[in-house]
């Protein structure tokens, strides 16, 4: 459903559109809010003549508890006409009928029809015909029925005729085909609505509008599904001759009001040898004082009691175990996670870069590479670990070794000289590892702290929980807090001469964010049932 205007636009001065509500032959309806905060319904009128606009103006000051209030008729800068109406926070009668395909309860039908008759009668008393009565134009708000779209009604003229066909074909009186728009067409529509409230069906239906119109003109409505007391009322309201219908809506409402609803038959009022006789539908039986009281049934004539049938217990469905992911699935998931991790790391560096406002983008590139390497290490080191894996120490060792490698990678990115093979010209003070490699002593100390810092952080935390498929939540703040804690607790190992410790803390936090974002997650049955429960309550 495409509307002419979008949310947030202000085609009419003083009102902001929020969303489109509905469309029809008369125009488009929007939910809007005034500059003062009042919620209203705005109807954009399309294709209306000056005569019809004058008829709408006659409805502006019409007030009734069962009518949707019409506040104003306004014109925008483009010359379009807008009707400002009360916004009804409820549902339409058509939505209620859709939930009751066999009809509404009789008590509710009587209550709603009385309110409908009062609203339509109020219009008729002021010389206005609705012309488009149908369940979609009748609203229910907090148990109160309100008739809408009467702002597009027509004031009754002396000729009571017009050339333009208005209305919905299922509720259209036969005389509409000749341009006769008297009050009786609203009464005919109310008869169709009463039929639909009682049975859940309309009296005339077909595969095309032409077929339905022909049935309105010639066919007699089938009232076999209507409760007996209502049949003559609906038959009179749907008479092909408008003059044979009720004189007014008040007269039709008075015919519906005294109908008594079926109720339980008093015991012993109508009985036989086999017990009380049930009353036919729509008939109420009352005690007759002239009839003798029912005699007790002899024991020999009583039927033996029928033992109550104990319902068989339906076996509970057996849950089938979910097969574990195949090697191909694991490799595909791992590869997809490793490809997506750099993207998450880069996005995470955006707010850090805006806050730090670096003059040299080289530092951000180093943070991005170390974060990506750390995320890859957690994904590779976690393997197929579950949230509560018992082989924690072996995984800590594996992650710690990978952390040593990331420490060497960070050491190299910061421009430090890597160790090389020792030569005879190098002094013993610069020779380590039994003289096989050489490195200045201060550089060697810095490199060792790189290794110990990243290796220690990777071995300290249970980072495989962030990548576990059966973790409690898709994304949790606890692993981020753990990353911040361990990266801060091991800062005594950080090579301070290499620069700010943010170069160690930020990549670890970003890596855990990326790992949670790219790792597959299968919610447990408990989580799924909790979601279903919340949806059911909503």
Q: For residues 383 and 37, give the distance between their C-alpha atoms in angstroms, rounded to a whole number.
A: 56
Flag whether the pTM goes above 0.85.
Answer: no
Going by the DSSP 8-state scheme, the letter that residue 5 receives in this structure is S
Going by the DSSP 8-state scheme, the letter that residue 315 receives in this structure is P
Helix (H), strand (E) at residue 275: strand 275-276
- Give the active site residues: 132
Q: For residues 481 and 459, give the distance between their C-alpha atoms in angstroms, rounded to a whole number.
A: 16
Determine if residue 143 is left, alpha or beta; phi over 0 gives left, psi from -120 to 50 gives alpha, anything else beta.
left
DSSP letter string over 76-106? -TTS-EEEEEEPP-SEEHHHHHHH-TT---H
What are the two backbone dihedrals, phi and then psi, of residue 55, each rounded to the nearest 5 degrees? -65, -40
Q: For residues 109 and 196, give the distance between their C-alpha atoms in angstroms, rounded to a whole number.
A: 10
Contact 379, 519 (CB under 8 A): yes
- The confidence score (pLDDT) of residue 501 equals 80
- The confidence score (pLDDT) of residue 390 equals 65
Nearest to 62 by CA among 136, 147, 182: 147
- The confidence score (pLDDT) of residue 434 equals 44
Those residues of the chain that have pLDDT short of 70 are 1, 25, 48-52, 55, 151-167, 261-326, 329-330, 357-360, 384, 387-391, 416-439, 523-538
Q: For residues 494 and 291, give the distance between their C-alpha atoms in angstroms, rounded to a whole number.
A: 106
Residues sharing a CB contact under 8 Å with residue 237, sequence separation 6 or more, in sequence order: 187, 188, 190, 191, 194, 245, 246, 252
3-state secondary structure at position 161: strand
Q: Which domains does the chain carry?
A: 15-86 (3.30.200.20), 91-256 (1.10.510.10), 327-420+430-525 (no CATH)
- The confidence score (pLDDT) of residue 299 equals 58
Contact 177, 78 (CB under 8 A): no
- pLDDT tens-place string over residues 151-205: 556 554 433 444 344 568 999 999 988 888 889 999 999 999 999 999 999 999 9
- The confidence score (pLDDT) of residue 307 equals 58
- The confidence score (pLDDT) of residue 296 equals 54
């Amino acid at each position: 459903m495409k509307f002419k205007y979008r949310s947030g636009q202000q085609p009419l001065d003083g009102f902001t559109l929020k969303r489109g509500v509905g469309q029809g032959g008369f125009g488009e309806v929007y939910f809007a809010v005034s500059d003062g905060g009042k919620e209203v319904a705005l109807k954009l009128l399309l294709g209306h003549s000056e005569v019809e606009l004058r008829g709408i103006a006659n409805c502006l000051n019409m007030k009734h508890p069962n009518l949707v209030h019409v506040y104003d008729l306004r014109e925008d800068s483009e010359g379009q006409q807008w009707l400002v109406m009360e916004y009804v926070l409820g549902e339409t009668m058509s939505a209620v009928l859709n939930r009751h395909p066999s009809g509404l309860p009789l008590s509710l039908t009587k209550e709603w029809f009385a309110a409908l008759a009062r609203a339509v009668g109020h219009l008729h008393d002021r010389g206005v015909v609705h012309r488009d009565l149908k369940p979609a134009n009748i609203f229910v708000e907090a148990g109160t029925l309100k008739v809408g779209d009467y702002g597009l009604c027509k004031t009754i003229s002396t000729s009571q005729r017009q050339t333009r066909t208005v209305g919905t074909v299922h509720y259209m009186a036969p005389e509409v085909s000749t341009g006769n728009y008297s009050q009786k067409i609203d009464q005919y529509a109310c008869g169709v609505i009463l039929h639909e409230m009682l049975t859940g069906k309309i009296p005339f239906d077909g595969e095309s509008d032409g077929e339905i119109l022909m049935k309105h003109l010639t066919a007699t409505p089938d009232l076999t599904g209507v409760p007996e007391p209502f049949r003559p009322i609906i038959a009179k309201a749907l008479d092909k001759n408008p003059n044979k219908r009720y004189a007014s809506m008040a007269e039709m409402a008075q015919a519906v009001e005294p109908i008594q609803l079926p109720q339980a038959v008093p015991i012993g009022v109508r009985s036989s040898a086999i017990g009380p006789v049930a009353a036919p539908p729509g008939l109420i039986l009352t005690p007759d004082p002239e009839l003798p009281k029912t005699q007790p049934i002899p024991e020999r004539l009583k039927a033996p009691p029928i033992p109550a049938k104990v319902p068989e217990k339906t076996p509970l469905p057996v849950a089938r175990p979910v097969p574990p992911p195949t090697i191909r699935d694991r490799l595909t998931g791992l590869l997809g996670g490793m490809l997506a991790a750099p993207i998450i790391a880069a996005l995470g560096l955006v707010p850090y870069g805006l806050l730090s406002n670096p003059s040299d983008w080289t530092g951000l590139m180093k943070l991005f590479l170390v974060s990506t390497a750390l995320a890859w290490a957690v994904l590779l080191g976690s393997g197929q670990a579950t949230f509560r894996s018992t082989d924690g120490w072996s995984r800590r060792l594996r992650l710690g070794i990978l952390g040593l490698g990331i420490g060497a990678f960070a050491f190299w990115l910061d421009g430090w000289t890597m160790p090389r093979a020792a030569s005879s010209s190098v002094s013993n003070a610069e020779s380590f590892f039994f003289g096989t490699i050489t490195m200045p002593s201060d550089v060697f100390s810095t490199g060792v702290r790189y290794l110990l810092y990243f290796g220690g952080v990777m071995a300290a935390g249970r980072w495989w929980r962030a990548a576990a498929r059966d973790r409690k939540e898709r994304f949790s703040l606890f692993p981020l807090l753990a990353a911040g804690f361990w990266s801060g607790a091991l800062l005594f190992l950080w090579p301070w001469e290499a620069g700010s410790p943010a170069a160690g803390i930020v990549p670890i936090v970003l890596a855990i964010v990326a790992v949670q974002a790219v790792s597959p997650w299968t919610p447990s049955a408990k989580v799924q049932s909790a979601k279903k429960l919340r949806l059911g309550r909503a």
